[in-house]
Amino acid sequence: MEDNIIFGKNAITEALLADREINKILISKNIHSDSKLNKIKELAKEKGVIFQFVAKEKFAPYSQYNHQGIIAQISPINYEDLDNFLEKKHENSCVVLLDGVEDAHNFGAIIRTCVCAGVAGIIIPSRRNVQVNATVEKTSAGAINHIPIIKVNSPVNAVQKLKESDWWVVAADASAEDNYYDVNYNDMNFVLIMGAEHAGVSKSLLKLSDFVVKIPMLKDFNSLNVSNAFSAIIFETVRQKLKK
């Protein structure tokens, strides 16, 4: 069920603006009209998307979500093919590979950060990693409509293919010797690999990495949330590009 809906005003607005295939929008009769809801209705009329006002009981199956009284029934997103992605021109670009990230809120936050930081694409494994679902869409605040999501069967094969196409590989690992800001990210295409908090980046991907970096800590504590750690590293790459 969750894979076929998106919820929340911001996420639905962005989906409409991005011309996502939306089957129907359900709006609770109990919610008050505001500028965001009016915009959704205007966009839906403009794009020929059906919207209906329904009783609050219709939202009972979605009570675990902060749906704000509005849900859109959608078709699954179209994943980008890695080969097609690599055929496009890339210059000083970054792609992010998530290795075992299981929390949908982390994934959604990473998507949002990627769009803000100008990341060219996100690679996710088809197994042992959270997939795109309604929570991811909501947490990304619609940013998922503005970046290619590339699904691969084998992260190792994907990284090898990137290396063959002259992409450099940077992996984040708490036990690394180098700090994330010691790498010069300019003038190269690179993939940034982020692992889950409990397991980190797999050994097979670490072996393929050209750079392994850490975020230095003043206090020995549990590792940063993966979305926070990613933000620190990716905005260092942005800082370097802006400084250039």
For 183-232, write each residue's pLDDT tens digit.
999 999 999 999 987 788 999 999 999 999 999 988 776 678 899 999 99
- Do 69 and 87 have their domain in common? no
Alpha carbon distance 112, 142 (integer Å): 8
**Residues whose CB is less than 8 angstroms from the CB of residue 87 and which lie 6 or more positions away in sequence, other chains included:** none
Residues 8 and 54 placed together within one structural domain of the fold: yes
- Which residues, in sequence order, are bridge partners of residue 19? none
Give the residue numbers spanning the domain of 215. 82-243
Domains in the chain, number: 2
- Domain boundary (74, 94, 115) is at 74
Q: Are 19 and 138 in the same domain? A: no
Residues 12 and 87 in one domain: no
Question: Which two tokens mark 102?
Answer: 């299981």
User: What distance in Å separates the CA atoms of residue 128 and residue 108, rounded to the nearest whole number?
Assistant: 17
Are residues 174 and 69 both part of a single domain? Answer: no
Single-letter residue type at 157 = N
Give the residue with greater pLDDT, 121 vs 49: 121
Beta bridge mates, 26? 52, 71
Higher pLDDT, 179 or 78: 179
Residues 152 and 220 in one domain: yes
* Same-domain check for residues 53 and 7: yes
Backbone angles phi, psi at 156, to 5 degrees: -65, -45
Q: Which domain-ending residue is among 10, 39, 74?
A: 74
pLDDT band at 1 (very low <50, low <70, confident <90, very high): very low
- What DSSP designation does 32 have? P
Tell whether 45 and 126 lie within a shared domain. Answer: no
Q: Does the pLDDT of residue 2 top 60, yes or no? A: no
Residues 120, 224, single domain; the answer is: yes
Q: Are residues 21 and 113 in the same domain?
A: no
53 sits in which H/E element: strand 51-54
Q: Which residues pair with 192 in a beta bridge?
A: 96, 170
One domain, residues 161 and 225: yes
- Give me the phi and psi of 78, to 5 degrees please: -90, 115
Q: Which residues contact 32 (CB under 8 A, 6 or more apart)?
A: none
The two structure tokens encoding residue 231: 């933000």
On whether the CB atoms of residues 104 and 202 are closer than 8 A, the answer is no
pTM for the model stands at: 0.81
Each residue of 24-58: pLDDT tens digit?
898 988 888 889 899 999 999 998 888 888 887 88
